[in-house]
Amino acid sequence: MENYLQSFSWNKVKYRADKPIAELVDMLQKEASAVDNDVRAKFNQYNQVKTSLAQLQRSTTGNLSQKSLTAVVNPDTILKPEDSEYLQQHLVAVPNTLVKDFLKSYESISPMVVPRSAQILAKDDEFQLWAVTVFKKHSGEFVHKCREHRWTPRDLKFNEGGREAEETELRRLEKDERKVWGEALRLGRTGYSDAVMAWIHVLTLRVFVETVLRYGLPLDYVSGLVKVNLSIPTRLHLFFVKLTCYADRSQTQQKGQGCTRRPLLRTRRQRDESGQERESEKGRFDNAAGDGWRRR
């Protein structure tokens, strides 16, 4: 950006100088908005892919209350919803510390739980996975009571391919995440460059407009940039104060420090009004002096 500012020149091909200022500003605004929309859309796409990848990774690396059960449970060993008209088998992840309480109370937490139907399917360091058979009529109530007892109901989706399909999907998402990230990074860099160039052109237009409004025509001015050291902000501030304003000596002597600053750069209207005030003050002074001479 520093190199661009030092070598900046108006892009006459892209922003023709013979066009009205309003048209140029509208063109720059539309260009900046288009760049912003493109960059936001690409980064939103990347965030979606990243979220999907994180969910799939979490489902393959968590405990039995979180991870995918495709590689844990054999679908042939459990009752599928379409296998029975009245019965349904629920999978419940029970913390190891609550297994005894589960075995004592699971049959009575809701009506029509098949007695002694609980069978363990898997276990890890934190949870045990159990299958319980319930009448479909009371399946919703059973699931609700499980959550109240801090048991985690799990849904098993029967996907063709099983573990192999999940690994294929994981590799695909990892590839998409790297691809979209590269596209978002390149677009972000390009968009930043385009936005900075449009911003500098807008600032140039602003300097031009304010200069014409302040000094009028013909155009005879030089604009520049000052590169500052942020470690000395006080000295820089004093430098610009001396450059752009002056002190009222009488008030400085009375107060001992500080000054009343009046802007040196004033509009033509302000200068005319100031001149009229000085003429009126001079007339009042002459009248007062004449009255004093006559009294004398």
Question: Three-state SS across the chain?
Answer: CHHHHHCCCCCCCCCCCCCCHHHHHHHHHHHHHHHHHHHHHHHHHHHHHHHHHHHHHHHHHCCCCCCCCCCCCCHHHCCCHHHCCCEEEEEEEEEHHHHHHHHHHCCCCCCCECCCCCEEEEECCCEEEEEEEEEHHHHHHHHHHHHHCCCEEECCCCCCCCHHHHHHHHHHHHHHHHHHHHHHHHHHHHHHHHHHHHHHHHHHHHHHHHHHHHHCCCCCCCCCCCCCCCCCHHHHHHHHHHHHEECCHHHHHHHCCCCCCEECCCCHHHHHHHHHHHHHHHHHHHHHHHHHHHHC
In this predicted structure, what is the pLDDT of residue 249?
38
pLDDT at residue 293 tops 80: no
Confidence of residue 272 (pLDDT cuts 50, 70, 90): low
**Distance spanning both ends of the chain, measured CA to CA:** 73
Higher pLDDT, 16 or 71: 16
- For the residues 151-164, what does the mean pLDDT come to? 73
What domains does the chain contain, in order, with CATH numbers?
2-47+174-215 (1.20.1460.10), 75-158 (3.30.70.100), 233-295 (no CATH)
In this predicted structure, what is the pLDDT of residue 159?
58
In the predicted model, what is the mean pLDDT of the chain?
78
In this predicted structure, what is the pLDDT of residue 84?
85
Confidence of residue 282 (pLDDT cuts 50, 70, 90): very low
pLDDT at residue 76 tops 60: yes
Reference 123, options 145, 102, 146; nearest CA is 102
- For the residues 134-163, what does the mean pLDDT come to? 84
Confidence of residue 155 (pLDDT cuts 50, 70, 90): confident
In this predicted structure, what is the pLDDT of residue 133?
93
Confidence of residue 266 (pLDDT cuts 50, 70, 90): very low
What's the pLDDT tens digit per position in 246-257?
Answer: 433 333 444 444
Residues 134, 79 contacting (CB under 8 angstroms): no
pTM: 0.54
